Structure 1
Amino acid sequence: MQLNRRVFLAQLLLCFSLLSIASTAIAKEKSAYDLLMERAISKPHEVELARKGIAETSIDRAWERPCPYRELRGTEEEEKEFLYHCERWNDCVSTGGAASIFTEGYYKNQQLPPDAQVPWTFYQNLFLDGEDLASATGHLKQHALKFAEDNWRLFEGRDAHETSDMVEDKFWQWCSAEPLTLWKADDL
């Protein structure tokens, strides 16, 4: 009888400890909303990198982060410069996603038999339809299409998600180095 009681108490103690561990783990788990909010706000070290002017090259997977330049304050002229940085940042993010789609589309088109392939000029006309090619976004889209033509083989033998990240990374490296004069000229 004494042994049964000790076994029961040991099981009860084990049950309570498991419940407390599980509740602590659940409490620490972040909800999707928490993760979304965390990603939507620039972190202090990202703002510091923006202050130094190296945020684009120093933030890991920067295209998945919000523009840290919008957090900076200064003179009117400096704030305009920060605005141009953010415009470039946001345009590079959106066009980088498009570059990944264009590249995958070009790859899939190359997998078709030659008589079934859609001429690439059709896609170019479709993607650049009505786009002011002298504007910053037109310039970026033109490069995204050229990038797709040059780099479609990245998709060969790789997971599509992994390759998409590679394309966005390569496009980000090029795009974030584009001179801000393109965005300043858009404002004129």
Structure 2
Amino acid sequence: MSFHLMPSFSKSACARLMLGMFLLGTTSILMADENGEPAKLLMDRFPKPHEIELARKGMAEANIDRPWDRACPYRELTGTAEAEDEFFFRCQRWDNCVSAGGSASIYSEAFFQNHQQPPKDQKPWESYRNGSIFLLEPSDFERVTGHLRQYALKFAEENWRLFEGRDASEASDLVEKKFWQWCSAEPLTLWKAEYQ
């Protein structure tokens, strides 16, 4: 298999789809910083040459500063069909970890805010644990993204104290860093099983 999301997709169609998804993902970044220069913000997300070199060595996940803010550098690599499959799965994992890490931060802050309430005003912890307070349903925990989401909830319950005594932005970065360390080490076989 070589970069196939669906059997009828060619590599160029898949590349266009992935580029479209990347551009959609960067839209929120561009909109978030009204005073910034949109072109600069967009260019800052593109992988730098040293990040591409780290990807070539298979070490990008652990050696790029704030990888959850960066585009997957494995997209820039080409090679044999087998190597390109590996790059594809690494990027799937990368993108899913970025998304789940953002969720882990939101969940952690919610656990923290609930804990800060007087006991009589606290929502039941079970509604946080099972995701119902975040409007998640059992179907949201299926497939590999569900596995990551489930861990994000468990992680949030165990790490909500990261928000204690910290600026929300600093705490969010800590959550995303710790979550990334776990998520980026998840075996690629999870993604291979889902996308093949």
Is this a same-fold pair by TM over 0.5? yes
Deviations 1:8-27 (A, max 9, x none): xxxxxxxxxxxxxxxxxxxx
How far apart in 2 are the matches of 1:132 and 1:147?
A: 17
- 1:108 to 2:113 alignment: yes
Which of residues 150, 155, 158 in structure 2 aligns to 1:147?
155
Aligned to 1:160: 168
Q: Deviations over 1:77-114 (max 9, x none)?
A: 21111010000000000110110000000000011122
Separation in 2, partners of 1:160, 1:108: 11
Identity %: 60
Structure 1 unmatched ranges of 5 or more: 1-30
- How far residue 134 of structure 1 moved from its aligned partner, in angstroms, is 4.5
- The aligned length equals 158
Partner of 1:92: 97
CA displacement, residues 30-79 of structure 1 (integer Å, 9 cap, x when unaligned) = x6123223223211111110010000000011110100000100111211
Q: CA deviation at 1:130?
A: 4.3
Match of 1:11 in 2: none
Q: Aligned partners of 1:35 and 1:156: how far apart in 2? A: 33
Moved over 6 A (4+): none
Identify the residue that residue 121 of structure 1 maps to in structure 2. 126
Deviates more, 1:138-147 or 1:120-129: 120-129
1:1-188 mapped onto 2 (5 Å cutoff): 32-123=37-128, 124-126=130-132, 127=134, 128-131=136-139, 133-188=141-196
Query: Relative to 1, partners in 2 of residues 1:163 and 1:125: Cα closer, same or farther, differing over 3 Å?
Result: closer
CA contact under 8 A between 1:102 and 1:144: conserved in structure 2?
yes
**Contact 2:131–2:153 at 8 Å: present in 1 too?**
no
Task: Kindly state the Cα deviation for residue 125 of structure 1 after the two structures are TM-superposed.
Answer: 3.7
- Contact 1:39–1:66 (CA under 8 A) maintained in structure 2: no
The residue aligned with 1:25 is none
What is the CA RMSD across the aligned residues, in angstroms?
A: 1.5
Q: Whole-Å Cα distance in 1 between the matches of residues 169 and 140 of structure 2? A: 31
**8 A Cα contact 1:40 1:66, kept in partner:** yes
DSSP-derived class of the 1:145 partner:
helix
Contact 1:97 1:168 in 2 (8 A): yes
Question: 2:107 touches 2:153 (CA, 8 Å); kept in 1?
Answer: yes
Deviation at 1:141, TM superposition (A): 0.6
TM-score w.r.t. structure 1 length? 0.79
For 1:53 and 1:170, how far apart are their aligned partners in 2? 20
CA distance in 2, matches of 1:122, 1:150: 15
- Which whole-Å CA distance do the structure 1 matches of 2:109 and 2:191 have between them? 28
Q: CA 1:164 to 1:132, structure 2 compared with 1: closer, same or farther past 3 Å?
A: closer
- Specify the code of the residue in structure 2 equivalent to 1:139: H
Return 5+ residue gaps in structure 2 as ranges.
1-35
* TM-score, structure 2 as length reference: 0.76
Larger radius of gyration: 1
